[in-house]
């Protein structure tokens, strides 16, 4: 019997593997290279790459002055602040934990900010999901209780959570401009502008690390950087937009249940990361919260205007396309 795999299924697998392993690439890079420098150079190059793709495919657009101002705000929140905190956080937090927390808090934060800013009507089921996700982070943080060395872990975890929430805030506020530009062009501008914002900050704060010869004596972190740019940005963006066109945003967002598991597995198998029972329980709560949002988005449809939340085209994790928004707003399921 011949096994036939649909192209969309194969692309979905590629997407999950890509976004599930970028967290390990970040962790590998920041073990040797200053985190803001790694992030700034990565996003600057990724932005140039994506704008080149936009030019080749006829989707390049120069933003208007108003669009450029909106892109600057989004780039500051969704790239510079978000990834500056996430990359720094991964100097103290295992890649698997970072992957679970960020992938879970992207949809959770989108729901929360959409409701708080009056951009969407959110169901009671969605608020239960938000509370469950927050509980998951608290359970993960509890692993450091009684551990004298746990302070930096808590600071790193807090940085990752705050960075992800800033990404969500920028995504909600930047909805209009994202609908006015082709996705690849908007993503390219956002990556480029955010990367350029990070570089001078890195030079000011990390100049000793950048100038240290030990930073450059191994190819490993730069292979990780190349993985983030090529696989995370180019491959991730292509796979995501391909699925959006064929599956729609709701079905595509199912990757959010798979990538945290891949992040944990990649960290355990490839980097010998060890996770306590509290971490695994907390990860389960976060993934469960995402599942609750996803099923609520399909079945508990809130009576609200068409969703004002359209995720930013540069999600955490090193990819250059947005995670699909599973918030329970009125929209057509894919």
pLDDT of residue 239: 85
Q: pLDDT class for 312, splitting at 50, 70, 90?
A: very low
More confident residue, 332 or 11: 11
More confident residue, 151 or 2: 151
pLDDT of residue 146: 65
pLDDT of residue 296: 66
Average pLDDT over residues 197-219: 91
8 Å CB contact between 293 and 129: yes
Average pLDDT over residues 237-266: 83
Which 8-state DSSP code applies to residue 143? G
- H helix intervals, the chain: 7-30, 35-56, 65-75, 82-89, 95-116, 124-141, 150-173, 175-178, 183-205, 207-211, 220-226, 236-247, 249-252, 255-271, 277-299
* Rounded Cα gap, residues 237 and 149, in angstroms: 38
More confident residue, 80 or 234: 80
Least confident of 120-124, 194-198, 199-203: 120-124
Task: Output the six-digit token pair for 60.
Answer: 């390049």
Query: Position of tokens 């079905």?
Result: 251
* Rounded Cα gap, residues 308 and 327, in angstroms: 10
First to last CA, the chain: 31
Q: 43-96, pLDDT tens digit by residue?
A: 999 999 989 989 999 999 999 999 999 999 999 999 999 999 999 999 999 999
* Rounded Cα gap, residues 18 and 227, in angstroms: 9
Q: Is the pLDDT of residue 313 over 60?
A: no
Q: 288-301, pLDDT tens digit by residue?
A: 888 888 776 444 43
Question: What predicted TM-score, i.e. pTM, was given to this entire model?
Answer: 0.85
* Rounded Cα gap, residues 38 and 320, in angstroms: 16
pLDDT of residue 233: 81
């Amino acid at each position: 019997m011949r096994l036939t795999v649909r192209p969309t299924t194969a692309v979905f697998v590629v997407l999950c593997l890509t976004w599930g392993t970028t967290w390990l690439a970040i962790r590998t890079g920041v073990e040797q290279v200053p985190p803001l420098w790694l992030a700034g150079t990565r996003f600057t190059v990724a932005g140039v790459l994506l704008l080149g793709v936009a030019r080749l495919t006829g989707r390049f657009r120069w933003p208007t002055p108003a669009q450029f101002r909106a892109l600057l705000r989004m780039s500051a929140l969704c790239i510079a602040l978000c990834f500056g905190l996430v990359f720094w956080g991964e100097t103290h937090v295992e890649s698997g934990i970072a992957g679970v927390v960020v992938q879970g808090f992207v949809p959770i934060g989108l729901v929360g900010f959409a409701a708080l800013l009056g951009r969407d009507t959110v169901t009671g089921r969605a608020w239960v999901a938000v509370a469950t996700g927050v509980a998951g982070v608290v359970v993960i943080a509890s692993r450091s209780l009684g551990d004298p060395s746990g302070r930096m872990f808590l600071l790193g975890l807090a940085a990752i959570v705050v960075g992800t929430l800033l990404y969500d805030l920028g995504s909600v506020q930047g909805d209009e401009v994202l609908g006015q530009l082709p996705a690849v062009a908007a993503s390219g501008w956002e990556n480029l502008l955010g990367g350029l914002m990070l570089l001078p900050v890195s030079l000011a704060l990390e100049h000793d690390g950048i100038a240290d010869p030990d930073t450059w004596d191994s190819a490993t972190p730069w292979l990780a950087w190349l993985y983030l740019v090529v696989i995370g940005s180019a491959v991730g963006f292509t796979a995501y937009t391909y699925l959006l066109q064929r599956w729609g945003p709701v079905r595509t967002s199912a990757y959010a249940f798979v990538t945290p598991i891949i992040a944990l597995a990649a960290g355990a198998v490839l980097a010998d990361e060890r996770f306590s029972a509290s971490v695994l329980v907390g990860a389960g709560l976060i993934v469960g919260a995402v599942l609750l949002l996803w099923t609520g988005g399909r079945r508990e449809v809130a009576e609200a205007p068409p969703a004002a939340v359209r995720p930013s085209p540069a999600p955490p994790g090193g990819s250059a396309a947005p995670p699909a928004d599973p918030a329970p707003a009125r929209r057509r399921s894919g």
